[in-house]
Each structure stands twice: as structure tokens, then as C-alpha cells.
Structure 1
Amino acid sequence: MKTRLKKAEDLVSTFSYPTWEQLPELDLYLDQVLLYVNKTCAPVLSSSDKGLTAAMINNYVKHGYVEKPDKKKYQRRQVARLIAITTLKTVFSIQEIASTLNFLQDQASSDLLYNSFVAYLNEQKEPIAPIIRSACQTVQLYLETLSYIQPATTEEETDELHHETK
């Protein structure tokens, strides 16, 4: 059981999302965005989650959740939004996420909001809006819960379970 508890703690502390300043300065094509966002969001993607896909991005653009790319290139603002959406979609619907992001966008700039989101996920620093803290905590609790219910995958965990039942 100790291994599972350690695994849960490790999952919650695996966030190392890039800050706004660390996001690519150059605009990215769709395939580059997919690679970047999926690599960044790997800590929240379960083994059954395929991550962000081209079809998802196209739907997000179509429904206005993400701005349309300029000459097929996505800017830092869009990449940041896609990272937030991909992270939060594990626990919230896309409509809830879009409503929240639009609400927050009226209160602060994209870079400030994104950095607040990342600072809370990475270091538990108090965000500029309580809704950011709540959303991040929900994601973290979801990941922690998943770590408890996922089947034992290593010999050590299997041995540990055998010892607990004796």
C-alpha cells in the first residue's frame, strides 16, 4: 500500500508545465501543436486517453473555444489555451471549460491567467482567481484517485498486495 500512496503523491507532483515565456515564440503548425500540447499534458493523460487530436482542435475552433489559426499557424495564446483545455478536459466538459476561460478572459490577460494556472499546478502558488485553484485541485484529486484504482502494474506492487492479504 505504501507504494500506491507514493505513486499518488508522485502523480500529483509531476506537473512541470511551461510558463507563458517558455511557450514557443514562433507560431506552430497543427502537427507541431499536437506534439507540444500532448507532451506538456502527459501527466494528466491516462493510458486510455489519446490526448489532443487534430479533430478536437478543429472542433474547438469551429465552436469558438479556440481562436482560428492565422495562415494555418497557432500562436502562443492558442497553444496556452489548448494546454489548459487538454488538462481540464479530464474532469470538466469542454463547454464548462470554455465558459470558465471566457469568464476569466474578461478579468485578466491570457499570459497572466496562463501563468497563474501553471504556477498553481507546478508549485501550488496561490492563483489570481479562486476558480483556477479549484479547477487545478479537481484535476489533482482526480489523478490521485485514479492512482489508487489503477491495477498493480509492477512486481513490487503485486508482491505488496500479496503480503497485505496474508
Structure 2
Amino acid sequence: MNAQHPFPKWDELPDLDLYLDQVLLYVNNVCGPSISASDKGLTASMINNYVKHGYVAKPVKKKYQRRQVARLIAITTLKTVFSIQEISATLNMLHEETDSTELYNEFVAYMNGEQREVTPIIARACQTVKLYQETLALIQLPEKEEEHLELRA
């Protein structure tokens, strides 16, 4: 994630509860720059599965709160390199020691390139995501070069 499109900190997340379609728009907008072209981002069926399996708390009266939105942002970002089970187990383990606000703000700080100390496991997970993104950027051919290769084939 770059400084031009940083992840929102906890206090910058929507303060009012959101319906599913609003959550999808918000999370995909936030995570869009960190999602590869081949990834479709977050979908309604993904959220429903995450809730069904307990990875995300159930919505209250079909509305999602800040804590759920923060967790969905983290999951959507991390799922490019980790399984949902690994992400959930890690978040649950971390949550036993630290509250959601602090964990999310550490995740955001690292992803936004802020110079601050964060929990080692958060730093390593975010490093892995960033290295994966950098690798993808290196192996993606520019469009003109791709077209040229297609014409030669």
C-alpha cells in the first residue's frame, strides 16, 4: 500500500453500522490497490462463509460494525498469501493479548509504511503480503510487451 492510498486507521473507519453491500464497496475500495488483478476482492458469499465459520462475528440486524469491517479489511489483504484458517487463528491468538483497535492500527501502520513498533507476527504477515505484491509487480509484463509476444506466437 502506498502513501497515496493508505489504509484507514481505526478512528477513520465508518462510525455507523453498514449493510452487506456497503461493506463490500468499502472494503474493496480500501483493499483494491493491494489486490492483484486476478483476485476478485471480497464478495458477499465470502462474507457469508466467514460469518458461518466464525471468522467474522455475525451482523446485528444485518448491519456490520467497525470491528467486523476492520477484520474484513485485514482478511481481504492477508488472504492473498495466507489461508483464511491461518488468518483467523492468528487474529484470534493475537486478540487474546491485545484489543482489536490496537491490532488493527498496528496492521495499518505497517501496511502504510509508518515507522513504529508493531507486534512481530503482524510485521511478518504484512511483510509477506508486501513481498508477494512486489514479486507480482516484477513478473507482470507491460501491456505492449504482452501484445507483442501474442503477435509473435
Write the mapping of 1:52-63 to structure 2, written as runs, cut at 5 A: 52-63=42-53
1:125 CA drift (Å): 2.8
Q: Which residue of 1 aligns with 2:74?
A: 84
Q: Deviations over 1:95-114 (max 9, x none)?
A: 00000000010011100100
- What's the Cα RMSD here? 1.5
2:25 is aligned to 35
2:71, 2:98 → 1: CA distance?
A: 14
- Show structure 2 runs of 5+ residues with no match: 146-153
- Rounded Cα–Cα distance in structure 1 between residues aligned with 2:133 and 2:22: 26
Which amino acid in structure 2 is aligned with residue 126 of structure 1?
R
| Rg (Cα) greater in structure | 1
TM-score, structure 1 length as denominator? 0.83
Contact 2:30–2:73, Cα closer than 8 Å, also in 1? yes
Regions of 4+ moved over 6 Å: none
Question: What is the alpha-carbon distance in structure 1 between the residues aligned to residue 58 and residue 78 of structure 2?
Answer: 21
Whole-angstrom distance in 2 between the partners of 1:22 and 1:79: 12
SS of alignment partner, residue 97 of structure 2: coil
Structure with bigger RCO (C-alpha 8 Å, 6+ apart):
1
Alignment of 1:13 with 2:2, yes or no, is yes
Q: How does 1:1-166 map to 2 (within 5 A)?
A: 13=2, 16-153=6-143, 158=145
Unaligned runs of 5+ in 1: 1-11, 159-166
